[in-house]
Amino acid sequence: MQSIFDSGAPLDRLADLFRDFGDLIQEASPLYAGLSVQIAGDADLLALAAHARRGQPVQNMLFAAVHDLLLRGVAHPLAAYYPSVTASPVSGDPFPAFQAFCHEYADDIRALLASRRVQTNEVGRCALLLPAFYTVASQSGHLPLILIEVGASAGLNLLWDRYAYDYGTGRLYGSSPLVLTCELRGSVQPPLPDTPPAVSERVGLDLNPIDIRDADAVRWLRALVWPDQPYRMQRLETAIALAQSNPPRLAAGDALAHLPDLLAAPPDTAVCVYHSFVLNQISQENRDQYYNLLAAYSHQRDLYDIALEWIGTPTPEITLRTFRGGDVRETLLAVCEPHGRWLEWRA
Ligand SMILES: C[S@@+](CC[C@H](N)C(=O)[O-])C[C@H]1O[C@@H](n2cnc3c(N)ncnc32)[C@H](O)[C@@H]1O
């Protein structure tokens, strides 16, 4: 019998993705970890998830679509299991309620899966980027940075110097209503600046820039946060409040097509392109093209690229590529936790 959810996508592969996701996030989000394992065994739910746009992480998409509807205030027994929508969440197995919810709201979920993207804007990553920005500033002889964030989502990570940082060193870097805490691991101390690197310009580029003043788009940002991670939701709210008074500059477009327009910059500046959790949404061929594009442009001027990405390695990596005269030098700066909980500097 054909499922009411059918999109024709291969379900075995999706089952594996949900099972792996469940294993991966067991510690970080027990709610989604438990649901993932059960979704992996449910052909109807897998068929529903298969409606996510091609190239998008289906697990995040299905969970965010359901979460978005709950955040809109849809009244359903499932809400009782979500700490993000109820003050006193119940314990027990949420799966029967999740299944029932997906059946009842299949049309709405499908519409969200087809129209939205995984655009999680995780400000915790700024604690990972700060020492990398400082490294670029040092290498350039402390020229002011031109920061270009590729895949900026709402651009909250362009505003990294509006936040303060606590690396557990007994010292707070910056002063802000938003303090990002990050544990330092390993034996190498990352470079942490007494004063943050100077920035002369900053701009974000995204296929679909999120307008921080658009309530519907901002709810989707919240929906992408895992419901049993209140600390992430809290820092997102604070970052949104800080950004709303003075939003970052964002441009719409594909990185490959539009990045060259942004690279032209005044002399005596250091052009630093950076991206976090973006290249996994881009094909290998386009990733190669992206780096070829930077190499080609570096005949005109030096360029720096900071990649905070997680592709085929046990943990995310922070890699600095320095492009000069068409050549590239690659340095692994650090490994880290995806949302900025810890950083192990390697450079
Ligand atoms: C998972 S989000 C990460 C957002 C942000 N970098 C962060 O770490 O908080 C990935 C972002 O990359 C964008 N993106 C994906 N492919 C892109 C492309 N080819 N050109 C520009 N942006 C892209 C998506 O629209 C999305 O906003």
Share of the chain above pLDDT 70, in %: 97
Q: pLDDT tens digits for 71-96?
A: 999 999 999 999 999 999 999 999 99
User: Which residues are within 8 A (CB) of 325 and not within 5 positions of it... i.e. 6 or more apart?
Assistant: 298, 299
pLDDT at 3 over 50: no
* pLDDT tens, position by position, 285-326: 999 999 999 999 999 999 999 999 999 999 999 999 999 999
Res. 5: pLDDT tops 80: no
Q: How far apart are CA 181 and CA 111, in angstroms?
A: 37
The DSSP element (H or E) to which 200 belongs, if any, is strand 199-206
pLDDT over 50 (residue 2): no
Instruction: Output the average pLDDT for the chain.
Output: 95
Across 139-177, b (16+ Cβ under 10 Å) vs e yields bbeebbbbbbbbbbbbbbbbbbbbbebbbeeeeebbebe
Rounded to 5 degrees, φ, ψ at 309 are: -135, 160
- Does residue 208 have its Cβ closer than 6 Å to ligand 1? yes
Q: Of all protein residues, whose CA lies closest to atom 2 belonging to ligand 1?
A: 119
Residue 157 CA, closest ligand 1 atom number: 9
Answer for the pair 345, 334: CB distance below 8 angstroms, yes or no: yes
d(CA 117, CA 64) in angstroms, rounded, equals 10
Closest C-alpha to ligand 1, atom 14: 151
DSSP codes of every residue in 131-151: HHHHHHHHHTTSPPEEEEEET
Contact 113, 61 (CB under 8 A): yes
Q: Is 60 in the pocket of ligand 1 (CB under 6 A)?
A: no
Q: Is 309 in the pocket of ligand 1 (CB under 6 A)?
A: no
Per-residue pLDDT of 138-176, as tens digits, reads: 999 999 999 999 999 999 999 999 999 999 999 999 999
**CA dihedral in degrees (119, 124, 129, 131; nearest 10)?**
180
Q: Is residue 221 scored above 80 in pLDDT?
A: yes
293, 341, 290, 329: which is closest to 311 by C-alpha?
A: 290
